[in-house]
Amino acid sequence: MTTETIHQKFGPAEIGGIGHSVKRAEDDRLIQGAGNYVDDIVLPGMLHMTLLRSPVAHAKIVSIDASAALALDGVVAVLTGEALAGYNLAWMPTLSGDTQAVLATDKVRFQGQEVAAVIAENPYVANDALELIDVEYDALPPLMSPQDALADGAPLIRDDKDGQVDNACYEWEAGDKAATDRAFAQADHVVSLDTHYPRSHPAPLETCGCVADVNPATSHVTVHMTSQAPHAHRTLFAMVTGLPEQNIRIISPDIGGGFGNKVPIYPGYVVATAASLVIGRPVKWIESRTDNLISTGFARDYYMQGELALTSEGRILGLRVNMLSDNGAFYSDAQPTAFRAGLFHIVTGSYDYPAAHVVTKGAYTNKAPGGVAYRCSFRVTEASYLIERLVQTAAYELGIDPAEIRRRNFIQPDQFPYTSPTGFVYDSGDYPAALEMALEMVGYDEVRAEQAAARERGDATQVGIGIASFTEVVGAGKGSEYDIAGLRMFDSAELRVHPTGKAILKLGVRSQGQGHETTFAQIVANELGIPSTDIKVVEGDTDNTPYGLGTYASRSTPVGGAATAVIARKLRDKAAKIAAHLLEAAEDDLEFDAGRFTVRGTPDQSVTIQDVALAAYSNLPDGMEAGLEGVHYYDPPNMTYPFGSYVVVVDLDTETGQWTVRRMVAVDDCGVRINPMIVDGQLHGGLTEGYAMSAMQFITFDEDGNCIGSNFMDYLIPTAWETPRFELGATVTPSPHHPIGAKGVGESATVGSPAAYVNAVIDAVAHLGVRNIDMPVMPSRVWAALQSQAG
Amino acid sequence: MYPAAFDYAAAGTLHEALELLADGDDDTKVLAGGQSLIPLMKLRLAVPAKLIDINGVPGLAGISAPNGHLAIGALARHNDLGQSELIAAENGTMAAAARWIADPLVRNLGTVGGSLAHADPQGDWGSVMLACDAEVIATSRARGERTIAVTDLFVDFFTSALEPDELLIEVRVPRSKSAAGGTYLKLERKVGDYATVGVAVHLEMDGDRIGRAGVALTGVGSKNIKATDAERLLVGEPPGEELFAAAAELAAAAAEPRTDVRGTADFKRSVVRTYVRRGLADAAAQAKSK
Amino acid sequence: MEITVTVNGAEQQADVEPRVLLADFIRTRLGLTGTHIGCDTTSCGVCTVLLDGTPVKSCTMFAVQADGRTITTVEGLRTNGELSAMQKAFKAEHGLQCGFCTPAMMLVGTHLLENNPEPSEDDVRWAISGNLCRCTGYVNIVKAIQAAAGASAGASATANDISGSAAGASATADDMSVSAAESEGASA
User: Mind listing the pLDDT tens digit for each residue in B249-258?
Assistant: 999 999 999 9
Higher local confidence (pLDDT), B133 or C169:
B133
What's the confidence (pLDDT) of residue C186? 36
List pLDDT tens digits, range A665-715: 999 999 999 999 999 999 999 999 999 999 999 999 998 999 999 999 999
Of A7-21, A160-174, A304-318, which range is least confident?
A7-21
For residues B117 and B122, what is the distance between their CA atoms, to the nearest angstrom? 13
Which residue is closest to A287 within chain B, CA to CA?
B1
Query: In the CATH hierarchy, which fold is given to the domain comprising A38-140+207-255+262-295?
Result: Aldehyde Oxidoreductase; domain 3 (3.90.1170)
- Is residue B118 within 8 Å of residue B149, measured between CB atoms? no
Cα distance from N-terminal residue to C-terminal residue, chain A: 45
The C-alpha atoms of residue A99 and residue A106 are separated, in whole angstroms, by 14
- Pick from A2, A19, A8: which is nearest to A727 by CA? A2
Q: What is the pLDDT of residues A387-435, one digit of tens each?
A: 999 999 999 999 999 999 999 999 999 999 999 999 999 999 999 999 9
Q: How distant, in Å, are the alpha carbons of A403, A432, B4 from that of A731?
A: 18, 11, 57
Tell me the one-letter amino acid at A624: M
CA C158/CA C162 separation, integer angstroms: 8
- Whether omega before B3 lies within 30 degrees of 0, making that bond cis, reads no
Q: What is the mean pLDDT of residues A157-174?
A: 96
| ipTM rounded to 2 decimals | 0.97
pTM of the model: 0.95
Within 10 angstroms of residue A731's Cβ, the number of other Cβ atoms is: 26
Contact between A661 and A764 (Cβ < 8 Å): no
Interface partners of chain A (CB pairs < 8 Å, 3 or more) are B, C
DSSP assignment of B113-128 equals HHHHHHT-TT-HHHHH
Say what the pLDDT of residue A95 is. Answer: 87
Angle between helix A562-583 and A516-528 (nearest 10):
40
- A431 and A613 in contact (C-beta within 8 Å)? no
What 8-state DSSP symbol labels residue A410? B
Q: Would you state the torsion angle of the CA atoms of residues C134, C137, C141, C146, taken in this order, to the nearest 10 degrees?
A: 160
Per CATH, the number for C85-180 is 1.10.150.120
CA distance A785 to A765: 9
> For residues C183 and A733, which has the higher predicted lDDT (pLDDT)?
A733
Contact indicator for A384, A751 with CB cutoff of 8 Å: yes
Shortest CA distance to A169 belongs to which of A139, A143, A200, A203? A143
Residue B235 has pLDDT above 50, yes or no: yes
For an interface test with C, which of A8, A73, A205, A683 has the most C Cβ atoms less than 10 Å from its Cβ? Answer: A205
Min Cα separation C40/chain B (Å): 5
C162 neighbors A4 (Cβ within 8 angstroms): yes
C162 vs B: CB within 8 A: no
Please check whether residue B188 touches A, CB under 8 A.
Answer: no
Assess contact for A316 and A308: CB atoms under 8 A.
yes
| Matching fold, domains A27-34+491-634 and A38-140+207-255+262-295 | no
Average pLDDT for chain B: 97
Please enumerate, as own/partner, the contacts of A415-418 that have beta carbons within 8 Å and a separation of 24 or more: A415/A352, A416/C183, A417/A736, A418/A352
How buried is A292 (Cβ within 10 angstroms: 0-12 exposed, 13-18 middle, 19+ buried)?
buried
Mean confidence (pLDDT) of chain C: 85
Q: How far is C7 from chain A (nearest CA, A)?
A: 15
Q: What is the DSSP string of A527-570?
A: HH---GGGEEEE-SBTTTS-----S-TT-IIIIIIHHHHHHHHH
Residue C172 has pLDDT above 70, yes or no: no
What was the pLDDT predicted at A740?
A: 96
Q: Which residue of C has its CA nearest to A5?
A: C164
Residue A636 confidence (pLDDT) above 50? yes
Q: With contacts defined as CB-CB under 8 Å, which chain B residues touch C59?
A: 42
Q: Do B44 and A656 touch (CB under 8 A)?
A: no
Q: Locate the chain A residue with the closest alpha carbon to B270.
A: A656
Rounded average pLDDT over A555-582: 98
Q: What is the mean pLDDT of residues A459-480?
A: 97
Instruction: List alpha helices for A353-414, DSSP H.
Output: 380-398, 402-409
CA distance C99 to chain B (A): 20
Tell me if C75 and A441 make a contact (CB, 8 A cut-off): no
- pLDDT of C188 reads 34
CATH topology of domain A27-34+491-634: Aldehyde Oxidoreductase; domain 4 (3.30.365)
- The residue-averaged pLDDT of A561-590 equals 97
Which residues of chain B does A778 touch, with a Cβ-Cβ cutoff of 8 Å? 189, 262-263
Asked whether the predicted pLDDT for residue A537 surpasses 90, the reply is: yes
Is pLDDT at C170 greater than 80 in this prediction?
A: no
Q: Which amino acid is at C17?
A: E
Distance CA C50, CA A84 (A): 45
Q: Is the pLDDT of residue A16 over 90?
A: yes
Q: Is residue C161 pLDDT above 80, yes or no? A: no
Q: Taking the C-alpha atoms of C22, C26, C27 and C28 in order, what is their torsion angle to the nearest 10 degrees?
A: 90
Q: Can you give the pLDDT at residue C43? A: 98
Average the pLDDT over A83-100 and give the result. Answer: 94
CA distance A513 to A690: 18
DSSP A597: E
What's domain C2-76's architecture? Roll (3.10)
DSSP assignment of A437-506 equals HHHHHHTHHHHHHHHHHHHHHT-SEEEEEEEEEEE--BS---TTT-EETTEE--EEEEEEE-TTS-EEEE
Percent of chain A with pLDDT over 70: 99
H/E element holding A779?
helix A779-790
Q: Could you give the CA distance from residue B133 to residue B203 in angstroms, rounded to a whole number? A: 11
- The domain segmentation of chain A, as residue ranges, is 27-34+491-634, 38-140+207-255+262-295, 379-473+640-790
Please state, rounded to an integer, the average pLDDT across all residues of chain A.
Answer: 96
pLDDT at A6: 55
Compute the distance between CA of residue C160 and CA of residue A49 in angstroms, rounded to an integer: 44
List C-alpha distances in Å: A785 to A42, A305, A464, A777, C37.
53, 19, 15, 10, 39
**Rounded mean pLDDT, A316-326:** 98
The reported pLDDT for the residue numbered B290 is 82
pLDDT at C168 over 90: no
Q: Is the pLDDT of residue A494 over 80?
A: yes
* pLDDT exceeds 60 at position A338: yes
Q: Which residue spans within B38-174 are E strands per DSSP?
A: 50-53, 63-64, 69-73, 135-140, 144-149, 154-156, 159-160, 167-174
Distance of CA A292 to the CA centre of its chain: 17
For B190, the closest of A289, A290, A716 (CB atoms) is A716
Distance in angstroms (rounded) separating the CA atoms of residues A416 and A735: 11
Q: Tell me the average pLDDT across C73-85.
A: 96
Give residue-wise pLDDT tens across range B22-35. 999 999 999 999 99
User: How many residue contacts between B and C have a Cβ separation below 8 Å?
Assistant: 79
Q: Which of A583, A591, A589 is nearest to A615 (CA)?
A: A583
In the predicted structure, residue C177 carries a pLDDT above the cut 60: no
pLDDT over 80 at C178, yes or no: no
Q: What are phi and psi of A261, to 5 degrees?
A: -70, -25
* Angstrom distance (rounded) from CA C123 to CA C149: 12
Contact A37, C38 (CB under 8 A): no
Q: What is the pLDDT of residues A741-751, one digit of tens each?
A: 999 999 999 99
Hey, which residues of A are catalytic here? 228, 375-376, 747
How many angstroms from the chain centroid is the CA of residue B119?
9
pLDDT at A241: 86
- pLDDT of residue A4 exceeding 50, the answer is no
Give residue A8's pLDDT. Answer: 67
Cα–Cα nearest to C102, from C34, C170, C43: C34
Cα angle for residues C11, C12, C17 (degrees, 5° grid):
145
**pLDDT at residue C162 in the model:** 33
Position B68 scores a pLDDT of 86
User: Picking from A771-785, B81-95, C140-154, which range would have the lowest pLDDT averaged per residue?
Assistant: C140-154
The DSSP call for residue B138 is: E
The whole-angstrom distance between B139's CA and the closest CA on chain A is: 34
**pLDDT interval class at A11 (50, 70, 90):** confident
Say if residue C156's pLDDT is above 50.
Answer: no
- The pLDDT tens digits for A40-88 are 999 999 999 999 999 999 999 999 999 999 999 999 999 999 999 999 9
CA gap A747, A758 in Å, rounded: 18
Contact at CB, A123 and B2, closer than 8 angstroms:
yes
Nearest-angstrom CA–CA distance, A588 and C32: 57
Main-chain phi, psi angles of A686, to 5 degrees: -70, -40
Residues of chain B found within 8 Å of residue A696, distances taken between Cβ atoms: 189-190
Give backbone dihedrals phi and psi of B4, rounded to 5 degrees, phi first: -70, 165
Helix (H) / strand (E) element for A355: namely strand A355-363
Which among B1, B267, B275 has the least Cβ separation from residue A780?
Answer: B267
The span from the CA of A669 to the CA of A162, in Å, is 48
Q: What is the pLDDT of residue A534?
A: 98
pLDDT band at C182; cut points 50, 70, 90: very low
CATH 1.10.150.120 domain residues, chain C: 85-180
φ and ψ at residue A25, rounded to 5 degrees: -65, -35
Q: How many CA atoms lie within 13 A of A447 on its CB side?
A: 22
Instruction: Judge: C60–B55 Cβ closer than 8 Å, yes or no.
Output: no
**What pLDDT does A423 receive?**
96
Count CB-CB contacts under 10 A for residue C163.
Answer: 13
Distance (Å, whole) CA B286 – CA B288: 5
CA–CA gap between residue A426 and residue A411 (Å, rounded): 10
User: Is the Cβ–Cβ distance between B6 and B50 less than 8 Å?
Assistant: yes
The angle, 0 to 180 degrees and rounded to 10, between the axes of the packed helices A380-398 and A748-765 is 30
Residue A267 contacts residue A329 (beta carbons within 8 Å): no
Task: Domain A379-473+640-790: give its CATH architecture.
Answer: 2-Layer Sandwich (3.30)
Of residues C188 and A597, more confidence is placed in A597
pLDDT, tens digit, for every residue of A605-623? 999 999 999 999 999 999 9
pLDDT tens-digit readout, A721-773: 999 999 999 999 999 999 999 999 999 999 999 999 999 999 999 999 999 99
- At C157, is the pLDDT very low, low, confident or very high (cuts 50, 70, 90)? very low
Measured distance CA(A388)–CA(A309) in Å, rounded: 14
